[in-house]
Amino acid sequence: MNTSRWVVMAGTLIVVCAGGWYGMIWMPGSSYQGALPLATDEIRDLEQKLHTHVHTLSTQIGERNLFHYDKLMLAAEYIRTEFKAAGYDVLSQKFDVSGNICENIEAEVRGTDRREDILLIGAHYDSVKGSPGANDNGTGIAAMLALARVFAQSPVSRTLRFVAFANEEPPFFQTPSMGSRVYAQRSRQQNERIILMLSLETIGYYTEAPNSQRYPPPLSLIYPSKGNFIGFVSNLANRDWVQQAVWSFRQHTQFPSEGAALPEWLPGVGWSDHWAFWQEGFPALMVTDTALFRDPNYHTSNDTPDHIHFDHLARVVTGLQHVIRDLANQP
């Protein structure tokens, strides 16, 4: 083969690879830059509500998992009580793990006209062994409860379902005993039409410190080095969904955001409850502050409320209200 042909083939390969990466990382709109706007009264009020949820889960209840079963049940009851206070009829999916009854807790607001289409917003309520789990995942549950309260009085075209999952953390992670795995399997067996699952995973730690954000290679060559943004992550099959979510967030929210549709084998891409829905063929994506790639308190005893940036969390939750509304009302 002559030199010119090698050059053409090499050039073609580079273009194909570059195009593939571009397709994974390109997101519509632009991430917000600069100082955040002054907090509104709405943001301040939401900030206090989120703080109450996280404080209750991580400080008053504390470590909550099958190794502290009584605390896991207290967390489940707290979530159930909050759903009921928002006006929901609450359902519980119970399942046995080593002789202990675990439960996924569900609240639903029916759509106004496309009721069979379900947009599921989920978060796990257990914490890893040895951690009070303020950020992982008290923040995800707090956000889900706040969103559920908003939409209880403001239904949208499609059905919204809010689900708190048990047993996301090791040793149950990505096993048959993972709560979201149990739930997704039942949804498939019942032929439910889940158009998208949003996993709210560890969303409360933000910093402007230089080089505070890490990534699996080679993403550090592409994404910001400051851990001040909220991330939207999907696998390659759900690229359209993550692009729609990022577009909506950026249209409505003055807060930094990044998005990516990446191969599932890349570390971190499938590390939450959205993974369980992928296994059953449901579209799903994760909303996250990137957890261990940013938060030094991740999976430690230091994962406490004093490390959570509640103002930033409130802004993210406000943005997610728009994302959910847009996705649920789209044609």
Render pLDDT for 33-47 as a digit per residue (tens, 0 to 9): 999 999 999 999 999
User: Using only C-alpha atoms, what is the Rg of the chain?
Assistant: 20
Angle (CA) 173-275-316 rounded to 5° is 100
For the cut 90, the answer to whether the pLDDT of residue 193 exceeds it is yes
Rounded CA separation 173/303 (Å): 19
Structure-token pair, residue 65? 């998992």
Asked if omega into 137 is within 30° of 0 (cis), the reply is yes
Q: How far apart are CA 51 and CA 310, in angstroms?
A: 7
Query: What's the pTM?
Result: 0.93
Mean pLDDT (the chain) is 94
Percent of the chain residues past pLDDT 90, beyond the cut: 92
- pLDDT of 312: 99
For residues 2-26, average pLDDT: 50
Query: What's the pLDDT score for residue 331?
Result: 87
Q: Mean pLDDT throughout 215-227? A: 95
The Cα–Cα gap between 43 and 20 comes to 39
C-alpha 328/C-alpha 325 separation (Å) is 5
Q: What is the pLDDT of residues 256-269, one digit of tens each?
A: 999 999 999 999 99
Question: What is the distance between the alpha carbons of residues 287 and 63, in angstroms, rounded to a whole number?
Answer: 23
Residue whose pair of structure tokens reads 């847009």 in the numeric block: 326
Could you count the other beta carbons within 10 Å of the beta carbon of residue 258? 19
pLDDT tens digits for range 280-319:
999 999 999 999 999 999 999 999 999 999 999 999 999 9
Tell me how many degrees the CA angle 51-82-301 measures, rounded to the nearest 5.
Answer: 45
